[in-house]
């Protein structure tokens, strides 16, 4: 893949060229399966942009290199790579990341969809982890999408079948349960597993899906094979049979939009979320009001930790085990916590049978997303974030 080849093409033409890179004959698919190795797949990373245009990315990197507000490791990463963008057509940009140490270039196409970037690439996962994913994770104006296990399951089980029809099938999954406080760490990779298999794994091991494999079949053949990576916020397509290009096109574009819509629905903060009101007595009495909250509701199955345990373990993980957070107890069921890297302040509370996250003024969506990811990956996957918006302040 060379983004220079796409100059002068229209948006849909560029997407078609990229999708054609994973068209394979049935013979090629059987050979790859027998040899247990495959050609590179097509990956689509979904990224929220915070007031950053793709053609301004390189200038923003120069600014970051001059800044003292980024970590040594991120500065070192930026310094050891070269970045170049080029306009391909309206709202479509090429990005080339050059790694001089290995004399290697990786190419990406950025499709700008309002405030989201859909980044398509055929680069191997080993190299995306060393290049574009590091840039997404550490750049202060970029946010990797995070899809919770329950949302991921609903996208594959309900939304895609509704949009694409009964030819869409659930064809395997990766499910994990890796709480930091337990010696029991579970990761199950089931090829060809169906919904019943996933339910058994959830019931028996309390493991929740982080990746789901979907296929479109002309029975019994898998005509299109793709993977939804919820924790890492991307989609990959590994196989499209020659006569089923339109199915591959539909999966790529519809799943991208479903990921984007899920992120927008949960994490968008539309208003300045916190007001601080000093009391009339002049003694500095302060109350905090929020217009936005994230309610994390545990499903609390049998043998799973109750809400008090989840709250206590979340505080322990963020403040004692996970570097980068500082906080203090506000009252018995409330902590105020600062994410040091971004200086974002938020409140986490235990309210009835839920955890509730309240962002303070200027707290970014990225921080809320990161905290939800920390809880789901390290405390319990058996919990679901849902937004709560109010036109009047919520008393915190």
Residue 26 and residue 126 in one domain? yes
- DSSP per-residue codes, 306-364: -HHHHHHHHHHIIIIISTTEEEEEEETTEEEEEETTTTEEEEEEEETTEEEEEEPTT--
Note the pLDDT tens digit of each residue in 275-303: 544 444 444 444 455 567 889 988 766 66
Tally of CB atoms within 10 A around 310: 23
The whole model's pTM is what? Answer: 0.89
- Pick from 47, 92, 26, 2: which is nearest to 232 by CA? 47
Residue 181 and residue 256 in one domain? yes
State the total domains in the chain: 3
- At residue 192 the predicted structure's pLDDT band, cuts being 50, 70 and 90, is confident
Residue 134 and residue 158 in one domain? no
CATH of the domain at 388: 3.30.310
Note the pLDDT tens digit of each residue in 228-245: 999 899 999 999 999 999
Q: What is the per-residue pLDDT for 353?
A: 85
Among 89, 109, 144, where does a domain finish?
144
Least trusted range by pLDDT, from 15-29, 89-103, 214-228 = 214-228
Q: Which residue has the higher pLDDT, 49 or 268?
A: 49
- DSSP per-residue codes, 299-313: ---TTS--HHHHHHH
Mean pLDDT of 368-376: 91
Contact criterion met (CB below 8 Å) for 249 and 18: no
Note the pLDDT tens digit of each residue in 141-155: 999 999 999 999 999
Q: What is the mean pLDDT of the chain?
A: 87
* Beta strand spans in 101-201 (E): 104-113, 116-121, 142-144, 168-177, 186-191
Residue 55 and residue 133 in one domain? yes
Least trusted range by pLDDT, from 49-63, 88-102, 258-272, 327-341 = 258-272
pLDDT surpasses 90 at 56: yes
pLDDT surpasses 50 at 273: no
Residue 102 and residue 188 in one domain? no
DSSP state of 50: S
Residue 115 and residue 232 in one domain? no
- Whole domain around residue 24: which residue ranges? 3-144
Q: What is the per-residue pLDDT for 45?
A: 97
Q: What is the per-residue pLDDT for 282?
A: 44
Among 252, 267, 282, where does a domain finish?
267
Residue 263 and residue 139 in one domain? no
Mean pLDDT of 49-78: 93
Among 125, 144, 163, where does a domain finish?
144
Residue 251 and residue 294 in one domain? no
Residue 32 and residue 117 in one domain? yes
Residue 192 and residue 322 in one domain? no
Contact criterion met (CB below 8 Å) for 138 and 70: yes
Residue 163 and residue 242 in one domain? yes
Residue 140 and residue 7 in one domain? yes
Q: What is the per-residue pLDDT for 238?
A: 92
In whole angstroms, give the CA distance from residue 140 to residue 120. 21
What percent of the chain is predicted at pLDDT more than 90? 57
- Pick from 272, 325, 294, 263: which is nearest to 49 by CA? 263
């Amino acid at each position: 893949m060379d983004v220079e080849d796409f100059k002068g093409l229209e948006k849909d033409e560029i997407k078609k060229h990229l999708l054609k890179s994973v068209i394979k004959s049935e013979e090629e698919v059987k050979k790859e399966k027998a040899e247990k190795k495959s050609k590179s797949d097509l990956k689509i990373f979904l990224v929220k942009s915070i007031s950053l245009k793709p053609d301004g990315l390189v200038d923003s990197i120069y600014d970051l290199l001059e800044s003292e507000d980024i970590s040594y490791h991120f500065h070192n990463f930026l310094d050891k790579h070269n970045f170049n963008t080029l306009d391909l057509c309206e709202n479509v940009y090429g990005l080339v990341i050059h790694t001089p140490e290995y004399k290697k270039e990786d190419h990406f196409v950025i499709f700008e969809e309002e405030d989201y970037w859909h980044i398509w690439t055929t680069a191997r996962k080993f190299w995306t982890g060393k290049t574009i994913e590091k840039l997404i994770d550490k750049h202060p104006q970029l946010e990797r999408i995070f899809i919770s296990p329950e949302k991921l399951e609903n996208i594959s089980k309900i939304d895609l079948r509704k949009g694409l029809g009964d030819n869409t099938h659930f064809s395997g999954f990766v499910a994990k349960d890796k709480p930091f406080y337990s010696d029991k760490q579970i990761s199950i990779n089931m090829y060809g597993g169906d919904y019943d298999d996933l339910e058994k794994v959830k019931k028996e091991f309390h493991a929740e899906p982080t990746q789901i494999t979907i296929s479109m079949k002309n029975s019994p053949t898998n005509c299109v094979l793709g993977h939804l990576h919820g924790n890492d916020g991307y989609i990959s397509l590994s196989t499209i049979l020659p006569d089923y290009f339109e199915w591959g096109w539909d999966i790529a574009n519809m799943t991208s939009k479903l990921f984007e819509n899920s992120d927008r629905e949960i994490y968008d903060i539309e208003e300045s979320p916190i007001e601080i009101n000093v009391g009339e007595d002049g003694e500095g009495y302060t109350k905090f009001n929020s217009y936005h909250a994230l309610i994390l509701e545990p499903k609390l199955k049998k043998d799973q930790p109750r809400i008090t345990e989840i709250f206590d373990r979340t505080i322990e993980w963020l403040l004692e085990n996970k570097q980068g957070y500082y906080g203090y107890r506000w009252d018995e069921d409330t902590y105020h916590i600062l994410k040091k890297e971004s200086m974002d302040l938020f409140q986490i509370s235990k309210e009835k049978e839920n955890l509730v996250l309240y962002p303070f003024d200027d707290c970014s969506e990225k921080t809320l997303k990161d905290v939800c990811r920390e809880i789901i990956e390290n405390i319990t996957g058996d919990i679901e974030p849902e937004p709560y918006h109010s036109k009047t302040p919520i008393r915190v």
